[in-house]
Amino acid sequence: MTSWQTLIRTRLEATQAGNSEGNMLGGIIPILFTPFDSQGQVDAAGLRRVLRFELAGGVHGIGINGFASEAYKLSDAERQQTVDIVAAELANAVPLVIGIAPNSLSTAIQQARHYAQYRPAALMALPPATMDNGERALVEFYVALGQASDVPIMLQQAPHIPQYRHTELSAESLAEIAERAPTVRYFKLEGPGSAAKMRELAPMLPADARMFGGGGGITVLSELENGAAGLIPGVGFNEIFLAAWAKWTAGDRAGAAYIIAGGQALVQAVSGRGHEMSLHLRKRLMLRYGAIGCAYVRQPTVPLDPANLPAFFAIVDALNLRVARQVQ
């Protein structure tokens, strides 16, 4: 048995042993970025190495085809390719979350039925955003999708992304969706005001529904304090969040706060300068580590000034993280 097969088996056994809450998602579930080669094509080997890096760190799940995957820059065939790669490599070691961003109900249902073959723990579904059809139309969209899907749905709210600014739903609407569509069991709430939205929504949800934070973890502590069941960040330095999560679930809130405070400079440096810059910096981290061979971010994107990288790497190195050890 290879070291990777041993790791997969160990993670699968740990997941099964800790499955005491009806297979509900919880904890730290990073969204993998999509590495590209020097020709701008999906780097399958690099994607596998990034997945292995995160899994070896002890994450509680893996996501693909979210914003952090540059899914909005991928073709349909490439999004299918990344799911195929990740699902095969993951081999059910931890729960899989697959992102979808359909522009119609019929497309959403088609995608939900298609991706069911991969047995994901959830489909993370963005709302249709090309047109502003109003809140009621989005409520009915999610209700119909939830009623048609056998796979649990994670309703994603991302009003900090300009294209999705007009798709934010009220806590009352989110609760209505959960009541009318039992398959909609997860809510990823991110961007400014996410913790306040969680505080409002939490008492309205059924007991078997869960909320997750995002936004790179900038406000993770506030989100946990207001009912979040975990965090869905990007990749690279999740040992910070995993250590804080361990303290939090053990009842040591002060310990969790201390860990988050210690890593805040890095979290802010990566996630506090916009989504596209976060892509650049995470890829630069994994390039330096050796997991990928190219840090290309697809165009259009924001410019990265290489002169700023030494100061950024100094922040990483001061924390003695795995990604700073260049062990590949």
Decide if 188 is inside a domain: yes
First-to-final CA distance of the chain: 20
Tell me what pLDDT residue 22 has.
55
Half-sphere exposure of 40 (CA within 13 A, CB side): 7
Residues 6+ apart with CB under 8 A from 175: 201, 204, 205
Decide if 86 is inside a domain: yes
With the CA atoms of 102, 108, 114 and 120 taken in that order, what torsion angle do they form, in degrees rounded to the nearest 10? 80
What does the pLDDT profile of the chain (328 residues) look like in tens digits? 455 445 444 544 554 433 335 589 999 999 999 999 999 999 999 999 999 999 999 999 999 999 999 999 999 999 999 999 999 999 999 999 999 999 999 999 999 999 999 999 999 999 999 999 999 999 999 999 999 999 999 999 999 999 999 999 999 999 999 999 999 999 999 989 999 999 999 999 999 999 999 999 999 999 999 999 999 999 999 999 999 999 999 999 999 999 999 999 999 999 999 999 999 999 999 999 999 999 999 999 999 999 999 999 999 999 999 999 764 4
DSSP 42: B
Tell me what pLDDT residue 67 has.
98
Decide if 15 is inside a domain: no
Q: To which residue do tokens 């405070």 refer?
A: 261
Decide if 18 is inside a domain: no
Q: Which helix (H) or strand (E) holds 62?
A: strand 62-64
Q: Smallest Cα–Cα separation from 83: which of 63, 103, 106?
A: 63
Cβ–Cβ < 8 Å for 42, 82: yes
Which residue blocks in the chain are alpha helix, DSSP H? 3-17, 44-56, 76-90, 105-115, 135-148, 171-180, 194-201, 220-225, 239-249, 253-271, 275-289, 309-318
Decide if 186 is inside a domain: yes
Q: Smallest Cα–Cα separation from 321: which of 98, 57, 84, 132?
A: 57
Number of H helices, E strands in the chain: 12, 8
Decide if 13 is inside a domain: no
CATH number at residue 200: 3.20.20.70
Cβ–Cβ < 8 Å for 154, 124: yes
Residues 6+ apart with CB under 8 A from 94: 11, 12, 15, 55, 59, 60, 61, 62
Measured in whole angstroms, the distance separating CA 57 from the mean position of its chain's CA atoms is: 15
Tell me what pLDDT residue 215 has.
94
Decide if 193 is inside a domain: yes
- CA dist 95 and 86 (Å) reads 11
Tell me what pLDDT residue 326 has.
63
Tell me what pLDDT residue 7 has.
46
Helix pair 275-289, 253-271: axis angle to 10 deg: 100
> Listing from the earlier edge strand, what are the strands of the sheet with 153-157?
27-28, 228-231, 210-213, 184-189, 153-157, 122-125, 96-100, 62-64
Decide if 19 is inside a domain: no
Domain hosting 284: range is: 3-8+25-319
The count of domains in the chain is 1
Which pTM does this prediction carry? Answer: 0.93
